Amino acid sequence: MDAIEPHWISLLWFAVFATVCTLSFLVIAGMFPLHSRPDSLKSNAGLVLVAGNAVLLAALLIGTAIFGYSELRWSTLIVVAGLVVLFSPALFEIWPSSFRDGSKGLVTLIAIQLLALATLAKNLS
């Protein structure tokens, strides 16, 4: 494994972070444009949930890119990111639609993104 990627633990972490980014993107993309949000999220609280998720996703994307660039070989970074983008929609389809399109799912997604950001910060330091 060292001949392919010497930092395989970092490779696993990058795959996890990239998967969270991709799944978060798919959920949040379904909330835009804002006027087409599901009825349960058309309140101000729903807007805060969508905006909070978008901000956390931006931070997580930047952190994941920095982590991948600093810890992995360039070729490994491209291959793993491509595989994550290719197979993450299948994970998205497994989720129940009430979880993908409701406030419960957005709150859970915030918790998952915060956990990923905390883990990422620990791994970057």
> Which residue do the tokens 């639609």 mark?
97
Q: Shortest CA distance to 9 belongs to which of 100, 72, 52?
A: 72
CA distance 26 to 28: 6
Which pLDDT band, with edges at 50, 70 and 90, does 88 fall under? very high
Amino acid 3 reads: A
Give the structural domain span for 76. Answer: 8-124
Tens digit of pLDDT for each residue in 24-74? 999 888 877 777 777 667 778 878 888 899 999 999 999 999 999 999 999
Quick one: pLDDT at residue 2? 61
Q: Is residue 3 part of a domain?
A: no
Q: Is residue 1 part of a domain?
A: no
Q: How many domains does the chain have?
A: 1
Amino acid 107 reads: V
Q: Is residue 17 part of a domain?
A: yes
